[in-house]
Structure formats: structure tokens, C-alpha cells
Structure 1
């Protein structure tokens, strides 16, 4: 296949890369060996007029990872066992993830916003027996533990890696008030994170790990709304981190990364954690990406150079009232993904910082990076070009067997080293997603996204075949929300769509038909959903109707509802 995009690669970016054949944790081992005293993680909080934070060097981080890995082995965790991590961005997430990988365990990423029923499903579906959880979230895990196969719970407090003064102030003013102080002494097989580190050997027993073995399960969904665990191998994640460092021309042990994207999301896991560790960069962790004061102060204080995010973050960055009070000129590169990047947002960011901003595209199933704008040759309203060793094709959306011509719209399919192994315990769904392409070759991932390739090899997304709603970078599956709506005693029919939101990209709107003789208010419905769903999934808008548009076989037509909303916006 001709690859017209290659001629638009930046100078020095190759068409193919010799990826190291290593397990993921080897990135950290190598970084610690070469740069033991270099800052690996900076973590803290904004307090008044300054940021108070502390750092872990690569040597310290590697030592903590070894101890955590040995602690897991002491508890009985073995190669292939699943370890769930329910934490915001913090040093404990990195230690738990790399410690799990070091002994051949599988990291299961768990969104800290999940309510108990969502945590229960993830734990049971993945067969997780060990979970690492923030103390403020411990009650959620405790409430569902008896209904799961959990054998071990490791609890950590957000303050553990704060600098001394900040830790003292947090203990006095916030720890108890915000639910961080919990008692676990009476709970069987429940351990404090620091106790695990302190009561074990300095090194774990060595474990042989092959690159094609599964490293991580990240749950995603689809048109059915049934969450599926995407199995990402060590090779998937190693190759993606390696090529992102090549693409961005990151400077070993020099660049400083602002890590706002949550690590439980594949974007944050790869771009904000594995990629910087692969090249010994300094990671400035931001637990709450909406805390723009923390972001701006950290960029200025640490002279951050690299900022991955989503459009909503950059809109907040561009429009923050006191933004001009900060020196942000250290930023040389930012990447926006997970939702379309408005050109005006890109332009304003570049004017403010003097750095470059590009758009990228990928999915959970592609680790995630599959397509990215060249830094020196970006193209407005495109998702860029395929990254090294990666092919994209446009095929007919009906059968997926015929390749479309340049400029013709169809489904985007992807092939490369980043494509997942498959969905966890879902062979049918795996076979539907990873198929033989029109070239007769196996291994093509069918994305469900609709777009086209222009004459220069840049790709453009025009629609989503799936009904996924993307709000502030979060994927929301309508069937998840609809399932909860149908639990309400007054709801007869429900359909959920994404509506345009200038800040978040999309927001959730629910169309509801009430049962005859029943009544409910919009506020009641929203409150009902917020008790049963992560806050970002709950509808922001409710519209009551007498009926919903349906196909001849009675299927609710979400597209018709979206079209109606689009027309109302135009008016």
C-alpha cells in the first residue's frame, strides 16, 4: 500500500522503529540505572500563592517499586494475577503499576469516580483478587467486597508523598473532613500501602515476562454498552511509549511532563506515565486536571515542557482569568486528543506559550496512539497521519471489506504494534473487532469511527459509528446510562445522546417517556442517576416526551434525536 503520509513526517522521524523487546517495567529499571538521582515524580498541591510539592528520584522510585513487588509476592500475588488500581494521579499509582508489572501481574485500571456497582462489575469481570485504593474511596470497595472475589485490599492516603509542611497542614485541615482518615485495623486482609513497602524484602523474586503477555486491562465499551476489558500487552505499551518519544523528540532526562490526564485512562497511562519513564523525564503529577491554578503554577515552577491533554483542559487553560500572571513560555509541545480540537483553541494556546500544539487520535484498543499531527506540519481539523509502523485504511462502513478511494468516507481500520491482543474473555467481540482487512491480511482493528483520508495521507473524522458520547475526554456509553434510567419506577422508555457543549465537547441528554399515571421531575431523574453512576455519566439535560422515534422493528433511533438536537442548535 502506498503511504502518502510518510513524506509529511518531521525530519528525523523514521517510518519504522526498532522497538525494545522488553517488559514494561524495564523502562524504569533502565532509567534508574542511568539517572538514579534525576527527579522522576513531583507531587503536591497548590496552596495559596505557591505550589508545595516534593520529588521522588528515579532511584527512589525503582526501590519503592521493588519493595511493592516483593510485598505483593509475600501476600501471594503471582504472575498473571489481576491487581486493580483505584487511584488518582499520584506516586502510589506508578509504584503499584510498575510493581505489579515487575512480577508479571496484570494491572486493571479502575476509575476513582466509579460508584460501588461499577467497581463490583470491574472486579468480578476481571477476576481481580487484589485492589489498591485511595483511603477516601475505601468505603466503596468495602461495601462490595463480600460480593466479589477480592482477597486483598491495599489502602493508601493521598498525603503519603506530600512534603512535610503540606502533609501537616493536610492532616489538620482536610484529612478527616474530606474522608481521607479511615480505620482498617478490624478489616481482614486489608493493608496500608506504606506497611507493604516497609515489611518486605528489598527485591522481588525474579519473574520471566514475555513482551506478548498481557500487562493491562482497561475497560471500554461499545454500542451495547457492556464494558469490555481491552487486553494491552507489554509490547503494545512499550511500542507506543517508544514511538511517542520519537515523534515528540523528547529530550532524555531533560523534558518535564505535566501529567494531568488520569492514569486509569489509556491516554494518561501511556502519555503521562509510561512515555516519560521510558526516557527518564520528570513527571509533574496533577491529581485534579480541573485545578488550573495547580497546573499553571506547576508549569511555571518546574519549567514544564510537555503537556498532553484534551480540548476542555486547553480551553480552561486559555481562558483562565489570571493566566497572564504566569510564565508559561517553557512549554514547547502540547498534544490534544480524545475529542476534536477547535483550531481557535490551538492557535490561542500557541500564541500564549510560543510552543506547538498538535492533535492525536487513538483508542483504548490501540494503546492509544495511532495517528498524530506532525509537529512541524499540522493540518487543521485533521487527526494527523499514522505514526511509525502503523497503517490506517478507510473501508466501506457496511461490510468493511472494500477499501475506499482518497476522499471517500468510510470506517477507519488500524493495524500496528499498538493494537490490543483482544477483549478479556470475549472471543466473539474480539473476532468482530480484530479482523481480516481488504488486503487479505489479519490483525486489522475496526475502530467504528467514520472518516476519510485526504490526498496527502492526513486522516479526518466525520462521525462515530458507535454512539459513544465524549464529554471532557471521558467515554460515556448511552446504554450504561439508559440501563440506570430504566431502573427508575416512573420511566417507561429512555434514550441517551450527546449534545453539543462548548466546554466539554459533548454533554449527556436523556429523552424520557414516563409510564402512564407516573410523574417525575428533571431534578429527580438527574439525582437518581448521580446516585448510581459516576458523576460525568449522569445526564445534565432531561427532556420528557410522549414517545421516541423508532425504526420499523421498534429500535429507538438515537441518530434521529441527535439530528433534532443539531437542528435546534442551528436555529
Structure 2
């Protein structure tokens, strides 16, 4: 397969039709993520694959791995897992902040079985449920030196009988070892030590095929605990290629990674897509973008490593926009942004400060990772990007009886996606053959109901107008509103509860709640706030406010109507932001085609834009009559 067949010209929206004249199966993609890594190690054995920083304060002390070294490490770990009895349909749970060993362990889990990353910030009950649902009996977890709190959680799960084996990870670059923790009836070992004597040259088991499951990623649903979305190797390789087929970057480009590996973006965008091109990835320390020290050092890191691309959520770029550019960042060409709405002020501030354009994208875990991308050569600020090659995106109307009707280009409806990245389904149990999967109503004739509202224009560009599925996205982290609602409904005085996202300068949005109370109840909003904070499954889900209403809004057929609450939350934000602005007569918020629009009636607009553009909300001005 020639390089031009594998890598077509793709730096403009007009390239898409030509790309799709060649079927995806004719492009010679690797069969699995394992074959992807093996191919890279064969083509570029001495090229640096990973540069992992111990932490932002110690970014000048990185650990390097060539592609050949990475493959050898993955072979050792995969063979160790295989020797522990792991087989193709068995899952390995991974719960740790980022470190060099976690990258190896994640790739090795996909070679020997199925990787099941878990957010260490979830409650112990949710983690136990994810372990049960995945069937994982092996847990790869941060050791006490890397993350004491994570280790405490792992030990609690092990003591409760949730797993049989715990393999611990050390901090990046660490060689010293604490005394090995003991848990009765559970094997506990350091992963690298356990893998050291295993074969580094090849995998002793049967290699994965394209249809085999590669990973189970938990994703926020509309009810109950997080769902487990199953990705095949074919899903991940195809999506990695779609992102790697980017003519703006060449094979020598260096990519920056700082998102946690329990998030699918971290795996697909880094390291899988760069592996296809032999590119190098610089990984931030265990705190990633949550490390406050990183921002003061970031431009120096970018200059030192000649970073060409990075991926982050809007809040990261909001902070970087305030950091003086004290280094040569001319190498930086691609700054991808997604997961939540990009405020206009963040875009303007970052681009004016750095001279680098922010490129929005769109995707979801159920479509592997990414489904649309933007282009520096064709700016459409009102769109999140054009559909990626070999994926189809359309807007549909979903009737009460579940019937779908395709909408014309430009019409607003529920977005649906088809193609090689659509996931295999949610894990609902296990049988003798492995995980049992079900689309749970999200898959219809090969199309994925995204739950997002938007329109698709005639060029395949996606324009988001709202979310039908109600997820709250705080700094790129999905929060299930049901968890907040369940916590509040457990209070004896609460008769109804609804949680929504409120626009926020720093986090994109934060959760807030609205409740109704039993007749005669005498409980304050502050007490309900404290009640919820003590009972939600994770700190990020604790609502920022609880508002008591006489009734919660519903549709004409009696279903909960959260857009009205989201509009109220946005109006309250605008009220606060414009509190000191003179000449404002009225502030309203309406639901327009699923989108929340704040309307400000005022005589003078000079101070309104600077106040509201800091928030991820849509607003318009109406002059005072």
C-alpha cells in the first residue's frame, strides 16, 4: 500500500469527496491497535514514541520510549496478563492518573483482552458496578507512591472481593519501591516487576482481530450508573486514521497529551492516531491539565518539544489565553477543542494572544471518539466541523412512537451517525462467550442516535443547537443529572428534582438543581445543597445551587422539560454578569430550536459584550424602544 493511498491530501473540506472515492477497506489499515503498534515499531523502531513528564514542575526530567521499546514493554505486560489467565473476551480494569506505565498497561490490555478504564473520581459504588458489569477480575491501579487516594480505593474494592488481582503502577521515572501492600486473598504486585521476565519479542496468545472488542469506556447516561460503551479494534483504528489523515501535520510532528486515559479522546487522539504516522507524543504529568503549574510552564514546554498539536477543552484554552507567551511557539499549528461549547471570548482571546486558530470538533464515546473536524483553511465559526471521512451524519425527527424521519440539509433535529466508528453497543451482562451487548435504543438500522440536537448543511458541516440527552459537561467531564436528582429525591421533603448545566466561565458549565417540595415542608435551599453534596457519587456532580419551584416545567404530554430550566439558569448567569452594567432594562432567556438564547434589552451595548462573551452562552441585543 502506497503512502498516498494511506494518506490522501486532506487539509480542506473540498477534499472529502475525493477521499471517499477509495473505500476505507482499500487503505491498508492495521487490523487492530496491536497491529498498529507493531507496524509503527517495524517502520520507526528508533523514533521516540512517548515522552512522559513526571509532572509540570519536573518537565525537564522526562522518560522517553522509542516505538521498539514501547512494543517490547507492551509485549511483556500482555504476556504477563495472558499468563494470569486473561483471554480475548476478558476485561482488565485500569484506574490511575496518567503515567508512563498506564500507557503501556492500556495498550497491553487491548492486546491480551479488553481494556476497561475507570475514572478514579467516581464513587466506590459506581466503580464496583463498572467492575461487575465489565467482568474484570484484574485491576491495574495507581500504587501508593503515585496516588494514595486511588490506591486506597483500589484496596477497598479488593477487600470487598470485587477483583482477584491488583497490579500497581509507579510514578513516571520512579525506581524505588514502597513495601508491597497486602490484601487478604488478593494477589498484589507491581505491574512492571510482574512483567519483567516475560517475552518482549512477541505476544504468546492469539492476536486480536478487527471485530474483537478493544475497550469498554464508561459514559454518562440518562439514568443510573455510567454505561459501558464497547469499542472494537476496527472502531478505534478507523477513527485513529480519520484523525491522523490530516495534511496540516507531517510525520515529524509532536503532539501534546494531557487528558486522562479514562477519557476516550486521550486514547484515540493520543497515542493511536500519532502511531499511524510515527509521530511523537509528549504526555503531561498525572494531573494533566489540572496541574496549575503546567500553565506557567506551558509555552516553554511547547518551544522545547516543538509541539505541533494539542487537544483540550475550552476551559484549558481560557486559562492559556491569560498566560503570557514567553517562548517561540511557531511550531504550534493545530489546537483542537471539543467536549463543550467554545465561548466567543475564549476563542478571540486565545487566538489574538497566540496567533494559533482553535479548531472545534465534535464526537461522542458511542461513535468511538470524533465524528467532525474543523479546518484552518476554511473557517466556519458557527459549526463544530465537517463530518469525518466514511462517517455519515444526518438530522432526523424522532416521533413519540420512535419513528425516524430524515430531515433536509439545514433543518434542526436529532443528530444521527453511521459508519465504521459506531460502537458495538453497551455492556449489559456477560455469558460464556464474553460481554453481552445491547444498543439500548441508541442504534437503529446501523445509525446511532447521538441525543444531540443540530443541523447538517449541504457540505457536511455540523451545527449544534442543543442536547437532547441532558448530560451536564463540566470541563469536558460528563455528569449524569440523574445522580444529582436521585440524591435530592432521597430527602423526605423533596417531591421532584431536575438537574441541568449552568453556563460557567471556568468549567463551561456546572450543575445546578431545581426541586419541588411537599406541602408544608420547611427546608432551606442551603440545606438541600448540603444534602446533595453529601450524597452525589462524585464531587464534580455536587450542584452549585438548589432552587425551589412551585412546579417543574413539563411538555404538553407531561414529560419533564429541562430546556426551560437551562434557560432559567442562563438568565440567572446573565443577571449576575450584567448586575453592574447601566442601561439594561430586561434580561430574558428562551429556547430556540433546542438552543438557549439570552436576550438583553438595553439602551447601550458597549459593556454587554465584554460581560457576556466570557460565558459559553448565546445572547443577542434588543435596543430599548
| TM-score, length-scaled by structure 1 | 0.87
- Of 60, 65, 68, 2:74 maps to 65
Q: What CA distance in whole angstroms lies between the structure 2 residues aligned with 1:212 and 1:274?
A: 17
Question: What SS does the aligned partner of 2:381 have?
Answer: coil
Question: Secondary structure of the equivalent of 1:158?
Answer: coil
Return 5+ residue gaps in structure 1 as ranges.
172-180, 437-442
Please report how far the alpha carbon of residue 270 of structure 1 lies from its aligned counterpart in structure 2 after TM superposition.
0.7
Q: Is the 8 A contact 2:101 2:170 kept in 1?
A: no
Is 2:152 the partner of 1:151?
A: no
Give the SS at the match of 1:325: coil
Does the C-alpha gap of structure 1 residues 405 and 92 become closer, same or farther in structure 2, counting only changes over 3 Å?
same
The worse-fitting range, judged by mean Cα deviation, of 494-503 and 286-295 is: 286-295
Instruction: Tell whether the 8 Å contact from 1:120 to 1:147 is kept in structure 2 after alignment.
Output: no
Cα 1:248–1:85 change in 2 (3 A) is farther
Q: Within the alignment, does 1:207 sit opposite 2:209 as a pair? A: no
Structure 2 unmatched ranges of 5 or more: 1-9, 430-435, 575-586, 588-625
Match of 1:257 in 2: 255
Match of 1:141 among 154, 157, 182: 154
Q: Shift of residue 431 of structure 1?
A: 5.3
Q: Secondary structure at the match of 1:568?
A: helix
Alpha carbons 2:16, 2:389 under 8 Å: kept? no
Report the equivalent of 1:8: 13
Q: Which residue is 1:525 aligned to?
A: 529
Deviations 1:425-452 (A, max 9, x none): 278961511113xxxxxx1111111111
Which residue of structure 2 lines up, in the alignment, with residue 98 of structure 1?
Answer: 107
Of the two structures, which has the highest relative contact order with CA contacts closer than 8 Å and spacing of 6 or more? Answer: 1
Query: Is 1:82 the counterpart of 2:85 in the alignment?
Result: no
Assess, with a 3 A threshold, how the Cα gap between structure 1 residues 134 and 434 changes in structure 2: closer, same or farther: same
Counterparts of 2:535 and 2:82 in 1: how far apart (Å)?
A: 37
Question: How far apart in 1 are the matches of 2:494 and 2:101?
Answer: 42
Separation in 1, partners of 2:197, 2:437: 44
Secondary structure of the structure 2 residue equivalent to 1:396: strand
What is the aligned partner in structure 2 of residue 177 from structure 1? none
Partner Cα distance (2:11, 2:416) in 1:
18
Stretch moving more, 132-141 or 46-55: 46-55
Structure-2 change in CA distance of 1:74 and 1:523 (3 Å): farther
Which residue of 527, 543, 549 maps to 2:547? 543
Contact 2:373 2:387 in 1 (8 A): yes
Partner secondary structure for residue 152 of structure 2: helix
**Counterparts of 2:440 and 2:126 in 1: how far apart (Å)?**
26
For 2:499, the equivalent position in structure 1 comes to 496
User: Does structure 2 retain, via aligned residues, the 8 Å contact 1:50–1:297?
Assistant: no
Q: Secondary structure at the match of 1:315?
A: helix
Please name the residue that 1:440 is paired with.
none
CA distance in 2, matches of 1:393, 1:147: 46
Summarize deviations over 1:443-475 as a string: whole Å, max 9, x none.
111111111123443220111111111111111
1:449 to 1:12, Cα distance in 2 relative to 1, 3 A: closer
| Aligned pairs, number | 541
Indicate whether 1:470 and 2:482 are aligned: no
Question: With structure 2 as the length reference, what TM-score do the two structures score?
Answer: 0.80
1:7-46 equivalence runs, <5 A: 8-10=13-15, 14-15=19-20, 16=22, 17=24, 18-46=27-55
- Partner in structure 2 of residue 234 of structure 1: 233
**Pairing of 1:422-437 with structure 2 (within 5 A):** 422-425=425-428, 430=439, 432-436=441-445
CA RMSD, 1 decimal: 2.9
